[in-house]
Homo-oligomer: A and B are copies of this chain.
Amino acid sequence: MLSPTAHMPDRFPARHANVIPIQPATNDTESRQGTVRCSTCSMRSICMPPELSAEDLAKLDTVICSSRSVKRGDTLYRAGDGFQSIYAIRVGSFKTVVMHRDGREHVTGFQIAGEALGLDGVCAGQHNCDAIALEDSVVCIIPFAKLEVLCRELRPMQHHIYQMMSSEIVRESGQMMLLGTMSAEQRLAAFLLNLSKRFKRRGFSPAEFNLRMTREEIGCYLGMKLETVSRMFSRFQRDRLVCANGKTVKITDPDGLARV
């Protein structure tokens, strides 16, 4: 584990996050959002295990007590940055990007409100990818060292973190299958249905939503070129499966889309 004195990359203002000592609430100098409380957060049913008692939640509030705003296009963290915290998205959305030394980029995921960021950093003590906001966003900062302490006390939290990491492993397996075996058409269909499902889970319309990412970013996630993404959208439109107008997408025939 990195020592608490591990230096902060200078592109991050030093007041950020993890250097804040073990002190509850009031001190979040860097947050533009004020105090964060899991105990009263509307996203809790998505972020946290259901079986936490009021007492457990109080403990949680001492660990997760600061947030951070990230403007569209800005990075939450970059590959190589020292790892101190994981993040839960409160508002907005992100993409995670890994880069090969030759400059080749690949989008490994899109994350929306209620989802976690940064789990890849535990492994080597430094982040493995860039996390970039697709729109103005707010994240809860979860200092990982403190979380580990908490997880030794609260069995449900411990299990929940294992589940979160395992889910990410399973998600990536599915994405590998998509990239390894599906046609461009099938990939885009799977992508849209997956987004739809996640929006639905959060109480939004599964049928109509706004894409926060460009065709190029979608392509980079699905392993194809932006022109191909555009062509597949046109094909779906022609086949009356979706009605796509720029970033606005309306899924008119989800079953048909699933059968592609």
Contact = CB atoms under 8 A, between A and B. Distances in A.
A175 B177 contact: no
Nearest to A147: B162
A106 B176 contact: yes
Interface in A168-190: 168-170, 172-177, 179-182
A93 interface: no
Interface stretch (A29-37, A121-129, A247-255): A121-129
Q: How many copies does the complex hold?
A: 2
A223 interface: yes
A10 B1 CA distance: 44
Interface in A25-76: none
Contact of A169 (B161, B168, B174): B168
Given A123-B167, A159-B148, A165-B166, A173 B104 contact: no
A162 B120 CA distance: 10
A220 interface: yes
A158 B122 CA distance: 12
A155 B147 CA distance: 12
B152 A108 contact: no
Contact of A122 (B122, B162, B174, B181): B162
Contact of A158 (B148, B167, B170): B148
Interface string A1-41: 10000000000000000000000000000000000000000
B120 A169 contact: yes
B177 A180 contact: no
Contacts of A120: 166, 169-170, 173
A182 B98 CA distance: 13
Nearest to A182: B104
A245 interface: no
A151 interface: yes
Contacts of A151: 152, 158
A169 B165 contact: yes
A163 interface: yes
A119 interface: yes
A51 B162 CA distance: 22
A220 B129 contact: no
6 contacts: A98-B174, A98-B176, A120-B166, A120-B169, A120-B170, A123-B167
